[in-house]
Amino acid sequence: MTALKDYPRIHLATGAASTSAGQAPRIDPQDADGLRRAAAKQRGKWIAIVDEGVRLWPEALNQSPEPELLGADTSIGYLSRVEMNGFANRAGLRLCRRARLAKTGTLPAAELHIPKFVGHWSSDATPKNAFKAGVSRTGTFMQDPAPAGPSLRDLALWGSLGADLRNGVWWLLGVNAALLDPGRVEEVRREADAFKGHGDGLVRLLHEIAREVRLERSIPVRPLTAALSRSARQLLSPWPAPRYWTEFVERCQRLGPDGTKLAADYRRAVDYLWGPLDG
């Protein structure tokens, strides 16, 4: 048994050039040599890769992956929670076979996401970061492969929360621009740039874009004030939405008898959270 905190870790960070002694290495995800070297320096069968923008929760690292999953020929990952709106995000933590990474320097995608959170994900260092992240994550969220993808209600909430966080209004502008029309993202960005340093103008623009999203896309977004956003996130379930459980259970069942047993355990557990899964 190994708790997640006890696995050697690599943090992915675009543009990272060096590692700090005594801390988990930070490596650019494109730097195959760096990944190879970092993996070779560690010990053990597995290495934990922490995606860019993910801040791990110490208490979440006390959990341990089930032996059935480590025994299967698959790569497993844990979800993170988008800090701005509380939704699940596939960027998180994945366990990779260390020897393979030390040999190839290539990061495998997680094939099986355990429906549990390991931390928060955000990208809010600058207004530009937050806007870009809002656009790109909205695309990812809308195309998420989990069964019964996001509903209009999910998208509405996704486009309404986050104003309380650093550069949160910029994030929401990116989200709402992407919800409105990916072809108009650049136009919205230029308009927003004109309001840099003028918070009220930026908020007015956000509400104008949100109004267009409601009218043109029939998505009932309603960007909340900072105070309301903060309190609304507290109300949401601490667990990933049912579709991530459905996906996990389905994939687990393909892993042979051990996977089937685990799938049954997860199916019973989710029944208490969200009710019976379809199928």
Binding site residues, other proteins, CB under 8 A: 1, 3, 5, 62-64, 67, 86, 116, 153-154, 156-157, 160, 220, 222, 224, 227-228, 231-232, 234-239, 241, 265-266, 268-269, 271-276
C-beta of 67 vs 139, nearer to other proteins? 67
Place of tokens 């195959």: 32
DSSP string computed for 102-120 = HHH--PPPPSEEEEEEEEE
- The CA angle 155-158-160, to the nearest 5 degrees, is 110
Nearer to other proteins, 91 or 156 (CB): 156
In the complex, minimum distance from the CB of residue 248 to other proteins, in angstroms, rounded to a whole number: 10
CB of 75 to other proteins, least distance (A): 20
Question: Which residues have a Cβ under 8 Å from the Cβ of 21 and sit 6 or more positions away?
Answer: none
Which CB atom, from 76 or from 157, has the smaller least distance to other proteins? 157
The burial of 179, by beta-carbon neighbours within 10 Å (0-12 exposed, 13-18 middle, 19 or more buried), is given as: buried
Q: How far is the CB of 271 from other proteins (least distance, A)?
A: 4
Helix boundaries (H) for the chain = 32-41, 67-71, 98-104, 127-142, 152-158, 168-180, 185-193, 199-217, 226-235, 242-252, 257-274
Q: How far is the CB of 267 from other proteins (least distance, A)?
A: 9
Q: Which is nearer to other proteins, 131 or 158 (CB)?
A: 158
Give the whole-angstrom CA distance, residue 62 versus residue 23: 18
Coil, helix or strand for 121? Answer: strand
Cβ at position 84, least distance to other proteins in Å: 15
Taking the least distance from each CB to other proteins, the nearer of 12 and 161 is 161
Cα(215)–Cα(221) distance, integer angstroms: 10
Tell me whether residue 33 or residue 278 sits nearer to other proteins (CB atom).
Answer: 278
Minimum distance of other proteins from residue 256's CB (angstroms): 16
